[in-house]
Amino acid sequence: MMRFVVRRLLELVVVFLGVTFLIYAMVFALQGDPIAALAGDRPLPDSVVRVLRARYHLDESLWQQYLRYLGGLLQGDLGTDFTGRPVSERMASRWPTTIVLALTAWLLEVLVGVSLGLWAALRHGRLADRAVLLGTIVVSSIPIFVLGATAQLYLGVRWRVFPVSGTQDGWPMGFLLPAACLAVFGLAAVSRLMRGSVIDAMSSDWVRTLRAKGLSPRRIVGVHVMRNSGIPVLTFLAVDLGYLLGGAIVVEGIFNMPGIGQLLFAAIRAHEGPTVVGVSTVLILIFLVISALVDITNSLLDPRIRRDR
Partner 1 sequence: MTVEIEPSVTPAADGSVVRRGVWRTLRRRPAFWVCLVAVALLAVVAAWPAGFGGLFGGGDPYDCDLLESAVGPGPGHPLGTDLQGCDIYTGLVYGTRTSLSIGLLTTALALGIAFLVGTTAGYRGGWADSVLARVTDIFLGFPFILGAIIILNSTGDRSVLTVSVVLAIFTWPTMARIVRTSVRQVCDAEFVAAARAMGLRSSRIVVRYVLPNALGPTLAVATITVGGVIVAESTLTFLGVGLQAPSVSWGLQLASAQAQFQEHPHMLLFPSLVLSVTVISLIALGDMLRDALDPRGR
Binding site for partner 1 (CB under 8 A): 11, 14-15, 18-19, 22-23, 26-27, 30-31, 137-138, 140-146, 149-150, 153, 157, 196, 200, 242-243, 246-247, 249-250, 253, 264-265, 268-269, 271, 273, 276-277, 280, 283-284, 287-288, 291
Nearer to partner 1 by Cβ, of 34 and 86: the residue is 34
Nearer to partner 1 by Cβ, of 51 and 270: the residue is 270
Cα separation, 65 vs 58, whole angstroms: 8
Nearer to partner 1 by Cβ, of 110 and 249: the residue is 249
Residues 6+ apart with CB under 8 A from 65: 24, 28, 29, 57, 58
Smallest separation, CB 47 to partner 1 (Å): 29
Specify whether the CB–CB gap between 249 and 283 falls below 8 A.
no
Nearer to partner 1 by Cβ, of 63 and 214: the residue is 63
Smallest separation, CB 45 to partner 1 (Å): 27
Nearer to partner 1 by Cβ, of 40 and 214: the residue is 40
- Please tell me the total number of residues recorded for the chain in this structure: 309
Nearest alpha-carbon partner for 17 in 71, 80, 87, 88: 71
Smallest separation, CB 21 to partner 1 (Å): 9
Smallest separation, CB 271 to partner 1 (Å): 8
Cα separation, 307 vs 1, whole angstroms: 10
- Cis before residue 172, ω within 30 degrees of 0? yes
Q: Which residues pair with 80 in a beta bridge?
A: 86
Nearer to partner 1 by Cβ, of 129 and 215: the residue is 129
Cα separation, 213 vs 174, whole angstroms: 50
Cα separation, 171 vs 176, whole angstroms: 8
Smallest separation, CB 40 to partner 1 (Å): 16
Residues 6+ apart with CB under 8 A from 267: 81, 275, 276, 279
Smallest separation, CB 290 to partner 1 (Å): 11
Nearest alpha-carbon partner for 106 in 292, 290, 285: 290
